[in-house]
Structure 1
Amino acid sequence: MEGKSVVVRTLDIGGDKELPYLQLPKEMNPFLGYRAIRLCLEEQEIFRTQLRALLRASTYGNLKIMFPMIATVNEFKQAKAILLEEKEKLVEAGVAVSDDIEVGMMVEIPSTAVIADQFAAEVDFFSIGTNDLIQYTMAADRMNERVAYLYQPYNPAILRLITLVIEAAHKEGKWVGMCGGMAGDEIAIPILLGLGLDEFSMSATSILPARTQISKLSKKEAESFKETILSMSTTEEVVAFVKETFNK
C-alpha cells in the first residue's frame, strides 16, 4: 500500500456471517449472541494467532488494528491487553514489530455510542459499523423483509448516535471512520460530511461515485446544516431536506 494505512478488523463472524468448520452452537438470536470479539475473547488461541500474524506484518506497512462488536470498556481493554501480551512475546523472541500501530474498535452497539466519550479515552480511532448499529437501534432484523421499512440509515436516532461518537472522538483528538452501506450512500454522504466524519469506507464500486459527489460538496456548508438535520424527527424529513439542499 506504499505507506497508506491498512485497517484490519479481527475475526468478525456470527450473525449473518458463519464459518461452518468452527461448529458454533445454533442460537435463538445469533445477531445478539456469541460472535465477533465475544468469540475471540473466549477462543483465545484463535484470537492470539490472528494478533501474532498482524504484529509480524506490521513492519511492512502502516497497520491499524480494530476489534469488532465491542460492548463494554472492559472488553476493549481485555482485547488490547492480549494484543500487547503477544507483542511483548514476539519482541522477546527477537521478532521485529512496529511501535506505531493504532488500535481502535467498531461502534456497532447503541450502548457503545452512548458512552463513546468513555471509549474515546482508550482507543486510537473508531469505525462506526452502520449495518449492525441501525438494526440494533431500531430493533429490526435487517435480513427480515417484513420489518425492512425500519432499517433507516437517516433516522434521527441513528444520526444522533453517530454525532455522539464523532464529537467524543474529536474531543480526544481521535479520528472516526465508517464502514457499512451508509458510508457510500449518496443521501448519507453530505450528512456525514456535516457531522464531521473523517473517513468513509465502502465497497469498491461505490468509491468513484462517492469521490465525485464529495468533490462537489462544501464541508463548511454541510456543517452549517448539522443542527437543522439533527432536530428533525423522521427519516422522510431528512431525505427531503438533503435532496432539496444538496442534490440540486
Structure 2
Amino acid sequence: THATAHGSIELKSSDYPRRQMQGGWSQRRFQARAGERVDAFARDIASETQRAMDDLGIEMLIVAGDEVITSPLDASFHQSVSDRVIATMRLDIQTSDSDLLEATLPVAEAAERERESDLVQRLRDAIGHGEYGASGVSDVLAALQAGQVDTLVMVDDFEAAGWADFGFPAYGAGDPPKSHPLGGNSADIVPVDIREALVFLALTTDANFNVIHSAAPVPERVAESDIERESVEPRLPAAVSLDEIGGVGAILRFSMDGDSKA
C-alpha cells in the first residue's frame, strides 16, 4: 500500500565544541574530536531516521541542513534510506517549521507526481504487452478475485457501480444482476461502493495499492473561497492517462495461463 506518512524525530547533541582552539597539534586534535562528534551524531540521526521510515512506511526523504551535518548524514544512511532520499537542501538550522515546509513541500509533491506518472506508464506498458496488465473495473475485479494483481492503480476520483455477494464471496461491476452469475441466491447480491471493494480485495490478496492524484494539492493557507474557477489547475497528466484506460488498472503477478511475470 502506498501512503503518505509524517513522522518526527528529535535528537540533541551535547558538549559540542563551540570554540576554535589555536595552536598546531592541539588545534588538529580539537578539530578531529569535533569531526568525530559530528560523525557520531550523524550516525544516531541516520539510525533513528531509518527506524522511523520503516515503521511509518515513508517512501521519500528530503534532507535539509548545512553541509556540516548533511555530508556525514549522506555517508551514514543505510542504503535503503539513501534510495529514498529525493533531495538534499541547504537550510539554516534555525529555519522555522513553516519555512521548512514551504521549502520542501514543492519538492516532495514534484517527486510524487513523477512517481505517479512512472507508475501509470508501467501499467500501460504491461497492458500493451497483453498478458501482465488489466484495465477497467470488470477486468481488474476479475484479476483481483483470481489473486493475480501485484499492483492496483486507481485515480482518486474514480467512481463506478458495483455489486457483491459476500457469502461466496463474489464481486462484479455494474448494477446488481437479476440472476446470480455463480448460481447462488440472487437475494444475497447487494450494491457496493466499487472503490471500497477494489481496495478490500487488494489488501486481502497482498497487492500493492496506489492512488493517482487528479489535481495538485492546494496549499492549506489558500482558502477555497480565494480560488477563482479560472485559476484551478487542469487535470494532472498521470490522471488523464489513467482515465483513458478506465480510471483503474492493475499490474499482474501472472497471466491467465498461470505464467509468472519475469
**Common topology (TM > 0.5):** no
Instruction: Kindly name which structure, 1 or 2, has the bigger radius of gyration based on alpha carbons.
Output: 2
Greater share of strand: 2
Q: Could you say which structure has the greater relative contact order, defined with CA pairs below 8 angstroms and 6 or more residues apart?
A: 2
TM-score, normalised via structure 1 length: 0.28
